[in-house]
């Protein structure tokens, strides 16, 4: 089992070997973000910018204006927040071909604490015109989605966590932008998750099955553009939806699902995530217990949804 950021770094190295115009920009975080291998294996395409994320984003814009495909990688709090105005006005406003990658998203960042745990990045990136937002759940998804981002013309945001991620997909699986994966069929309730919450949603579905409840599990890896059709079916064919994300409940996956369904098929919805609070230091598993994001918590929310009157 490896972390998605490791799969990302390996794929980026491969992509750089395949395409000399692909450049890797770092802000002295490559040992943490998984792109150390790029520095070692494709040094000429590795641009060390120092701890200066705003400049790094501007440099990426300049490179993109001249035919390069820059992948800007650092902790999600810094790519999406320290440099957000550069992402907006330099990258998105100009619709430039810059890939923004944020690692260490969510609580699994662990001991570094609330300052380093991005819980707003999906909301922020999603609000920017021209930007697409993709959240892989496992290493194979990460490999494919890194390639999808490179092939896409225009700004893209890829959200990665820190911890090793259980394998959910074969290497043959494709992850087109705008898609989703129904990982488990069920007619009672739908669990819609992204990133590191997908395997937890699958575990929750097993817990629910023990109680005779059939949960559909959807990996909504493309938050923007969003797979409205799969969500509509889930809303129509099951009794309600629980969204699960390692992110604030405002503006992220749950917000995106609520917006999508509100237009086409309003459904009962419970949004699980950080309830408008910051994370804190701790090992990831105790943190997920503290913030009520374990498989048991997800199962409990599904039962609450099924037992409450509409």
Partner 1 sequence: MYGVDALKEMANTIRYDAMKAIYTVGSGHPGGSLSAADILAVLYFHTLRIDPQRPKWEDRDRFLLSKGHAAPALFAALAHRGFFPLHHLLHLRLHDGMLQGTPNPKIPGADSVSGSLGQNLSMAVGTALAGQLDGKDYKTYVLLGDGELAEGQNWEAAMLASARKLGNLIGIVDYNQVQMCGTVEEILPLGDLAAKFKAFGWQVYEVDGHDIQKLVELFDALPNQPEGVPKMIIAHTVKGKGVSFMEGQAAWHGGAPNQQQWEQIQKELGGGSL
Q: Specify whether the CB–CB gap between 69 and 16 falls below 8 A.
A: no
Q: Which two tokens stand for residue 245?
A: 């994300």
Classified as helix, coil or strand, 214 is: coil
Instruction: Give Cβ neighbours of residue 42 (< 8 Å, ≥ 6 apart).
Output: 13, 16, 17, 24
53 counts as catalytic: yes
Query: Which stretches of the chain bind partner 1, using CB under 8 A?
Result: 23, 44, 47, 49-50, 52, 54-68, 70, 85-86, 89-90, 93-94, 96
Separation CA 93–CA 219 (nearest Å): 30
In angstroms, rounded to a whole number, what is the distance separating the alpha carbons of residues 294 and 288? 6
Peptide bond into 129 cis (omega under 30): no
Task: Compare residues 70 and 195 and give the one whose CB is closer to partner 1.
Answer: 70
How long a stretch of residues is the chain?
A: 310
Please name the residue ranges forming H helices in the chain. 4-18, 30-33, 36-41, 53-65, 76-77, 84-86, 121-126, 139-151, 198-210, 228-237, 253-264, 284-290, 295-307
> DSSP per residue over 124-192, as a string?
HHHTSTT-EEE---SHHHHHHHHHHHHHSSS-EEEE--SSB----S-TT----TT--EEEE--SSEEEE
Please enumerate in sequence order all residues whose Cβ is within 8 A of that of 262, keeping only pairs 6 or more positions apart, or say none: none
Report, in Å, the least distance between residue 118 CB and partner 1. Answer: 21
Q: How far is the CB of 57 from partner 1 (least distance, A)?
A: 7
User: Among 42, 68, 36, 72, which Cα is nearest to 56's?
Assistant: 72
Q: How far is the CB of 10 from partner 1 (least distance, A)?
A: 23
Nearer to partner 1, 45 or 103 (CB): 45
Minimum distance from residue 65 beta carbon to partner 1 (Å): 6
Q: Which is nearer to partner 1, 20 or 266 (CB)?
A: 20
CB of 66 to partner 1, least distance (A): 4
For partner 1, which is the closer residue by CB, 22 or 198?
22
Cβ proximity to partner 1, 17 vs 65, nearer residue:
65
Taking the least distance from each CB to partner 1, the nearer of 95 and 228 is: 95
CB of 18 to partner 1, least distance (A): 17
User: Which residue has 């001991």 as its token pair?
Assistant: 111
Which one, 61 or 217, has the nearer CB to partner 1? Answer: 61
| Residue 251 Cβ vs partner 1, minimum distance, rounded to whole Å | 23
Sign of CA dihedral 28, 32, 35, 40: positive
| Catalytic pick among 53, 108, 120, 148 | 53
Catalytic residues: 53
């Amino acid at each position: 089992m490896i972390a998605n950021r490791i799969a990302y770094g390996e794929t980026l190295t491969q992509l750089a070997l395949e395409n000399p115009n692909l450049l890797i920009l770092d802000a002295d975080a490559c040992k943490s973000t998984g792109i150390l291998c790029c520095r070692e294996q494709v040094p000429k395409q590795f641009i060390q910018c120092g701890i200066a994320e705003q400049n790094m984003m501007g440099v990426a814009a300049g490179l993109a204006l001249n035919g390069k495909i820059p992948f800007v990688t650092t902790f999600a709090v810094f790519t999406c927040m320290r440099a957000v105005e550069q992402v907006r006005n330099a990258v998105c406003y100009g619709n430039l071909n810059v890939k923004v990658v944020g690692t260490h998203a969510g609580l699994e960042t662990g001991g570094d604490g609330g300052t380093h745990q991005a819980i707003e990045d999906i909301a922020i990136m999603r609000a920017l015109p021209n930007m697409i937002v993709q959240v892989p759940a496992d290493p194979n998804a990460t490999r494919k989605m890194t390639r999808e981002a490179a092939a896409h013309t225009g700004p893209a945001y890829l959200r990665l966590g820190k911890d090793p991620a259980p394998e959910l997909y074969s290497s043959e699986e494709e992850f087109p932008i705008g898609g989703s994966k129904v990982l488990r069929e069920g007619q009672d309730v739908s669990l819609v998750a992204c990133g590191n919450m997908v395997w937890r949603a699958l575990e929750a579905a097993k817990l629910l099955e023990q109680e005779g409840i059939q949960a559909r599990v959807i990996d909504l890896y493309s938050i923007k553009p969003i797979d409205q059709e799969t969500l509509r079916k889930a809303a129509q064919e099951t009794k309600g939806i629980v969204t699960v994300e390692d992110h604030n409940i405002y503006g992220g996956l749950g917000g995106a699902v609520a917006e999508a369904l509100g237009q086409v098929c309003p459904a009962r919805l419970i949004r699980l995530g950080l309830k408008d609070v910051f994370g804190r230091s701790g090992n990831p598993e105790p943190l997920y217990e503290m913030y009520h994001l374990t498989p048991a918590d997800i199962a409990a929310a599904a039962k609450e949804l099924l037992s409450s009157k509409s």
